[in-house]
Amino acid sequence: MEKWLIVDVPFVAVLTYGDFEAWMKDGALSDLKILEYAQFISGPYCAKLMADLGAEVIKIEEPGLGDRARRYGPFPQDIPHPEKSGLFIYINSNKRGITLDLHAATGMKIFKELVKAADILLEDNPPGVMRKLGLDYETLKEVNPRLIMAS
């Protein structure tokens, strides 16, 4: 499977939630690359189903608290911790993750490089947010004319 490639961007770390390489690498959706810019339940669960069927999914979180699901349990020993949320871990299994500040030039550059290689962008922002960020479909189709964008 061809990997995502980001060029000319130093110090980019992409984390993996779960063992994507071993899990469903020959699944029904193994040829798809999906960007997920969504939080909490609906968008992340949709992307999880696609990842479970073999799609390569990169979850994008904003710096700071990240996805709201990190704040919901269950937690081991009932001690809240953003890296140990049972809900977050479950709903983001088999995905990769990256933190991007889409209000900064570097974050926007990395996002658009990821869009170039993506088949689908899945987002669940309130109406108008993507347009304010300059990431509406009309703008992104210039970056990747074959991009499918789902809200």
pLDDT digits (tens, 9 = 90+) for 59-112: 999 998 789 999 999 999 999 998 889 999 999 999 999 999 999 999 999 999
Angstrom distance (rounded) from CA 110 to CA 99 = 10
Domains detected in the chain: 15-150 (3.40.50.10540)
Using H for helix, E for strand and C for coil, what is the string for 19-66? CCCCCCCCCCCCCCEEEEECCCCHHHHHHHHHHHCCCEEEEEECCCCC
Question: What pLDDT does residue 65 have?
Answer: 75
10 pLDDT exceeds 60?
no
pLDDT digits (tens, 9 = 90+) for 109-140: 999 999 999 999 999 999 999 999 999 999 99
Question: What pLDDT does residue 25 have?
Answer: 67
